[in-house]
Amino acid sequence: MDAMAQTPATATATQPAAATAASLKPLRGVRVLSLALNLPGPAALMRLKAMGATCLKAEPPGPRGAPAGTSGDPMGQYNATAYATLHDAIKVITIDLKSDKGQTQLHKELVRTDLLLTSFRPSALAKLGLGWKALHKAYRQLSVVTIVGAPGARAEEPGHDLTYLADAGLITGLSLPPTLFADMGGALMASEAALQAVLAQKTSGKGSFQEVALSDAAAWLALPRAWGLTQPHGAVGGAHAGYRVYPCKNGRVAVAALEPHFAAALCAAGDVAFEGMGTMFKPATHAAMARFLAGKTRQQLDKLAIAKDIPLHTLAA
């Protein structure tokens, strides 16, 4: 693994702190090869690229009978915009891992790879000769981060973002979630695992194996709900009158006046007597806030937020 570039720890007089942080490339010199398809793997690879890694993506051939140039990654077939964003500035090659030629091509790449990212089931990796024991024996400095649906013995179970969120208690009705929380959370965990692997390799000189489970990502995201924070009786689950979404005159408003000073400012604006945090949990306060906000336009509320330092965000109806 190439030595990583050194970055100044503090900003200079001519370089703001924000610019210095944005220029950090902790994975500069690290070569990553990804075999991971769909969303979590490519999203993790996108983050590794942003951290300075040299990233290569290997995809299987496109579907039989498909036009030439059709991506072998399902994401490239059902959402071209997402695929293009995920693979921006990342070199993509085609490798048929089930062929002798493809295996030769793959191992030629592995010789110069520091980190391999996969998202196959363990049995599929074994069939392709890509189990951890075989890889570690052949490439002692190679680290592997493998993304699976569920950990350990459950890694062979089929599933997707929706099933992992359901298992974690994050599907509370019949509506689909507004985004793919488990997939994107898993991508963050995979990029974190890659950083851990790089640090471990620099210490030991050997590669490491890390398994990232999307079900674990969902469970992590579900912790606030498990603690009661986002349950209906919780402060950020609807019980606190200053932390809710209300209708306003020409749309909606997301109010996040959670801390006492924000709650007091909101109450003052709505002509509600603030007598400590208990005020915010009273039905009368909820009713008063609803009436107040329903009578204001988005423009009025935007101005109020600035004038009174109240955290809120207006939305279309």
Domain ranges of the chain: 17-225, 235-315
Q: How many CA atoms lie within 13 A of 309 on its CB side?
A: 6
What the block records as the tokens of 219 is 């469970």
Helix, strand, coil fractions of the chain, as percent rounded to 5: 45, 15, 40
- What stretch of H or E contains 180? none
Q: What angle do CA 278, 283, 289 make, to 5 degrees?
A: 90
Q: What pLDDT does 24 receive? A: 84
Q: Which CATH number describes the domain made up of 17-225? A: 3.40.50.10540
Instruction: Per-residue pLDDT tens, the chain, 317 aa: give them.
Output: 443 333 334 444 444 555 455 578 999 999 999 999 999 999 999 999 999 999 999 999 988 777 777 889 999 999 999 999 999 999 999 999 999 999 999 999 999 999 999 999 999 999 999 999 999 999 999 999 999 999 998 999 999 999 999 999 999 999 999 999 999 999 999 999 999 999 999 999 999 999 999 999 999 999 999 999 999 999 999 999 999 999 999 999 999 999 999 999 999 999 999 999 999 999 999 999 999 999 999 999 999 999 999 999 999 99
Task: Look up the pTM and report it.
Answer: 0.88
CATH architecture classification, 235-315: 2-Layer Sandwich (3.30)
Chain centre to alpha carbon of residue 94: 26
Fold matches, 17-225 and 235-315 = no
Answer for the pair 190, 49: CB distance below 8 angstroms, yes or no. Answer: no
Bridge partner list, 211: 146
C-alpha R_g of the chain: 25
Angle at 58 between CA 54 and CA 61, to 5 degrees: 155
Q: What is the DSSP string of 42-76?
A: HHHHHHHHHTT-EEEEEEPPPPTTPPTT--SSHHH
CA torsion, ordered 44, 50, 52, 58, to nearest 10 deg: 40
Backbone angles phi, psi at 223, to 5 degrees: -55, -45
- Between CA 221 and CA 204 the distance in angstroms is 32
Q: How would you class 297 by CB atoms within 10 Å of its CB: exposed for 0-12, middle for 13-18, buried for 19 or more?
A: middle
DSSP conformation class of 168? T
Q: Specify the 3-state DSSP secondary structure of 247.
A: strand
> Which 3-state string (H, E, C) describes 112-155?
CCCEEEECCCHHHHHHCCCCHHHHHHHCCCCEEEEEECCCHHHH
